[in-house]
Amino acid sequence: MNPAKRSLLLLAALALPAWADRLPIPADAPPAFQTECGGCHLPFPPALLTAPDWKRVMGKLDKHYGDNASLDEKTRRELEDFLVRNASTRSRMAGEGDPPRLTASAWFRREHRKVPQALWRDARVNSASNCSACHSRAGQGSYRGREIALPELRDKH
Amino acid sequence: MQRILIPILLAGSAAAGAATPQQLMQDYTEQAVRQAPGYQPSARRGAELYSRRFAVSEKMPACTACHTDAPAQAGRHVVTGKAIKPLAPRAEAARFTDPAKTEKWFRRNCTEVLGRECSAAEKADFILFLTEGL
């Protein structure tokens, strides 16, 4: 295979539409989803974890990945119900860890397999949960490859 | 009549979440005076609280860990990397205008950074510093 043809094939493979280019916030999100969950991080799309995962996350908000994110019981219940209603039923979306991390699901790892390890620790990124560091329109629920903010990643999509 | 009406109007607007940082500071000052007669808010003590290194939390040893040394600048959540708007009302007008939101974040962040809740006096000092600077 000549190099030009090979790079064309490679390009075609990389350009395959990803499953989750669009992950809009579900319309039934309570206002607290933005103000509480979105207070410290991007309010993550509920479809990125399973229902049992969300129950575990919401069951121990006082130990929320090293932070105390306690809520009053009414708000906590309202958010848990919303997350569970919109959770994924796919086993590939099951998070790992306690509480489970959506950045450690089989799906997330596969989607991000081309991201060099060093880049996760880059000052511009800081944390795998900082979606909008790379996905410039993550706040609007859009995760298209061409929207990737870091130039060194853009040609990988 | 007017003397009775004005506090009622102020309380009403505060409950609706449309207070000013000055009103919030005044509310905390009144609470603090009840606990310690003669208390007066101090921007210098507020600045000291803002920059003091408590080191209770490894990742968030001080307010400055996320809000930077200059509260009129934008900050960044030290764990998640999320951008944080400036904490100082002179740079971000919506700060300290919602009593419930202000209480929520004082409770959460004081517990995280100081390892305990902040007193009314500390809250009044803090708001005075962020509003007027030193």
- Report the phi/psi class of residue A140: left, alpha or beta, with left for phi > 0 and alpha for psi in -120 to 50: alpha
**Which residue, among A36, A37, A40, would best test binding to B if mutated, counting the most B CBs under 10 Å from its CB?**
A40
Chain A: residue whose CA lies nearest to B112: A68
| Gap between the Cα atoms of B11 and B34, Å rounded | 18
> What pLDDT, on the 0 to 100 scale, is given for residue A153?
82
pTM confidence score? 0.79
**Is the Cβ pair B79, A125 closer than 8 Å?**
no
> What pLDDT, on the 0 to 100 scale, is given for residue A42?
95
Average pLDDT, chain B: 90
Given a cut of 90, is residue A41 above it in pLDDT? Answer: yes
> What pLDDT, on the 0 to 100 scale, is given for residue A6?
63
Instruction: Using alpha carbons, select from A143, A148, A151 the residue that is nearest to residue A22.
Output: A143
**Is the Cβ pair A67, B76 closer than 8 Å?**
no
Is the confidence metric ipTM above 0.85 for this complex? no
| Gap between the Cα atoms of B95 and B102, Å rounded | 8
Average pLDDT, chain A: 88
Indicate which CATH number applies to the domain containing B94. Answer: 1.10.760.10
Structural domain for B48, as ranges: 2-132
What confidence tens digit (pLDDT) does each residue in B64-76 have? 999 999 999 999 9
Number of domains in chain B: 1
Are the C-beta atoms of B60 and B78 separated by less than 8 Å? yes
Average pLDDT over residues A62-89: 94
Average pLDDT over residues A116-126: 91
**Is the Cβ pair A69, B77 closer than 8 Å?**
no
Q: Which residues of A touch B112 (CB under 8 A)?
A: 67-68
Q: How many CA atoms lie within 13 A of B46 on its CB side?
A: 22
What confidence tens digit (pLDDT) does each residue in A139-152 have? 999 999 889 988 88
Average pLDDT over residues A3-15: 56
Q: Token pair for residue B15?
A: 């409950």
